[in-house]
Amino acid sequence: MKTRRFVFNTVGFLGLLVVSIIWLVPLALVLMNSFKAHTFIRVSPFALPDDASFAGVGNYVSGMGRTGFLIAAGWSLFITVFSVAVIVLVTSMTAWYIARVKAWYTTVLYYLFVFSMIVPFQMVMFTMSKVANVTHLDNPLGIIVLYAGFGAGLSVFIFVGFIRSIPIDIEEAAMIDGASAWRVFFTVIFPILRPTAITVAILNAMWVWNDYLLPYLVIGSDYKTIPIAVQQYMTGAYGQKDMGGFMAMLVVAIVPIIVFYLTSQKHIIKGVAAGAVKG
C-alpha cells in the first residue's frame, strides 16, 4: 500500500510537471521571439536567439514608440481602475437594497439584472454605441458608466446571493439604535461584504482590462486600450508587419498581468472559486 502510494505520488508529480511546462511554452515562445529580429521570427520561431538574430531591446523600442502603446496601457489602467471601483460601490449598494427591501419592483429589478447576464454583447453593440454617442458617454470617463451598466448584472447577482446569507438581526439592531440606512450600509454591511467585494472586483477587472469590442466601438476612434492597440497593429498596417515590435507589444501586454497575479494570487483564486459558488 505504501509503495503504491509512493509510485502514484511520483508519477502524479512528474505528470503535472510536464503539463505545467507545456502550459508555459506559448508565453516563453513569445518572450524569446521578442528579442529576435523580424525576419528570424517568421522563418524560425522556435530557434533560440543567436548572434545573427539577436535584436536586443530594439523590438521594445520600436514596438512601444510607433504604436502609442504606452498611452494605450495608460487608458487601459485608467478605465479598469475606475470602472471596477464604481461597479463595486454602486452594485453593492443596489444589491443591499434589492436583498432587503421586499417589494414587487425589487423582484423585477433582480430578474432584469439576472436576465442581462445571458445576453450576448452583439445584441446591444450597435445600439449601445449610439446611446453613448447621443449621451456623450463616448470618452474614457463615460465608458465607466457603460461598464457599470453592462457589468451590473453579474455583480448585483453575486452581492445579493451573499447578502441574503447575512442574518438581518445585525441591521435591525443598528437601526433600532437610530443609525440611518446610509450609516448602516457603510459601517455595518460593507465591512462584512469585503470578501465578496474582492471577488466582484477581480472578476470585473479581468473583464474590463481584457475587453476589446466595447471600447473599440465606443471610444476606439479617439482612444485606444491595450487590446485595441494589439488588434490594430496586426490588421491596420499595410505591407510588412514588424513582427519583432509586435512580440514586444505582446510581452508588455502580458507582464503587468503576471506581476498583478503574483502579488494577489491568493485573492484571485479564492475570488474565482467564491464567485462561481454564488454564480
Partner 1 sequence: MRVSKYISKWFPLFALPTLAAFILAFVIPFGMGLYLSFTKFQTVDNAQWVGLQNYVLAFTENSDFINALWFTVRFTVVSVVSVNICAYGLALLLTQALKGTNVFRAIFFLPNLIGGIVLGYVWQLLINGVLQKIASQDLTYNSAYGFWGLVIVVNWQMIGYMMIIYIAAIQNVPGEVQEAAGIDGASFFSKLIHVTIPMTASAVTICTFLTLANCLKLFDQNLALTGGAPQNQTEGLALNIFRTYYNIRNHQGVGQAKAVVFFVFVATIAFFQLRFTRSKEVDG
272 binds partner 1 (CB under 8 A): yes
Q: Does 157 bind partner 1 (CB under 8 A)?
A: no
From 113, 157, 162, 223, residue interacting with partner 1 (rule: CB under 8 A): 113
Among 204, 226, 245, 248, binds partner 1 (CB under 8 A): 226
> Rounded to whole angstroms, what are the CA distances from 123 to 108, 202, 212?
21, 25, 16
Place of cell 506559448: 26
Please report, as residue ranges, which positions from 177 to 196 form the binding site for partner 1 (by CB under 8 A): 181-182, 185
Single-letter amino acid, residue 46: F
107 binds partner 1 (CB under 8 A): no
Q: Coil, strand or helix: which one is 277?
A: helix
Report in angstroms how near the CB of residue 20 gets to partner 1 at its nearest: 4
Query: Is 213 a binder of partner 1 (CB under 8 A)?
Result: yes
Stretch that binds partner 1, among 54-62, 63-71, 99-107, 193-201 (CB under 8 A): 99-107
Q: Tell me, residue by residue from 114 to 153, as one string, x for binding to partner 1 by CB under 8 A and - for no binding.
A: --x-xxxxxxxxxxx-xx---x-x-------xxxxxx-xx
117 touches 57 (CB < 8 A): no
Q: Which residue type, as a one-letter code, is found at position 81?
A: V
Region near partner 1 per CB under 8 A, out of 56-64, 65-73, 193-201, 227-235: 227-235
Grid cell of 67 as nine digits: 504604436
Burial (Cβ within 10 Å: 0-12, 13-18, ≥19) of residue 224: buried
C-beta separation of 219 from 139 below 8 A? yes
DSSP, residue by residue, 97-115? HHHH--SHHHHHHHHHHHH
219 contributes a contact to partner 1 by CB under 8 A: no
Nearer CB in complex with partner 1: 34/62: 34
H-state helical runs in 101-189: 104-118, 125-134, 142-163, 169-176, 181-183
Taking the least distance from each CB to partner 1, the nearer of 70 and 234 is 234
Task: Specify the residue, 71 or 89, whose C-beta has the smaller distance to partner 1.
Answer: 89
Q: Which of 228, 212, 67, 220 is nearest to 140 (CA)?
A: 220
Shortest Cβ distance from residue 254 to partner 1 (Å)? 6
Stretch that binds partner 1, among 55-63, 67-75, 164-172, 190-198 (CB under 8 A): 164-172
Question: Is 231 in contact with 69 (CB distance < 8 Å)?
Answer: no
- For residues 233 to 262, the per-residue mask of contacts with partner 1, x marking binding by CB under 8 A and - elsewhere, is -xx----------xx--x--xx--xx-xx-
Applying CB under 8 A, the site for partner 1 has a residue count of: 95
Residues 1 to 60: which contact partner 1 by CB under 8 A?
8-9, 12-13, 15-17, 19-20, 23-27, 29-30, 33, 41, 45-46
Expressed in percent and rounded to 5, the helix, strand and coil fractions of the chain are 80, 0, 20
Q: What's the min distance (Å) between Cβ of 56 and partner 1? A: 20
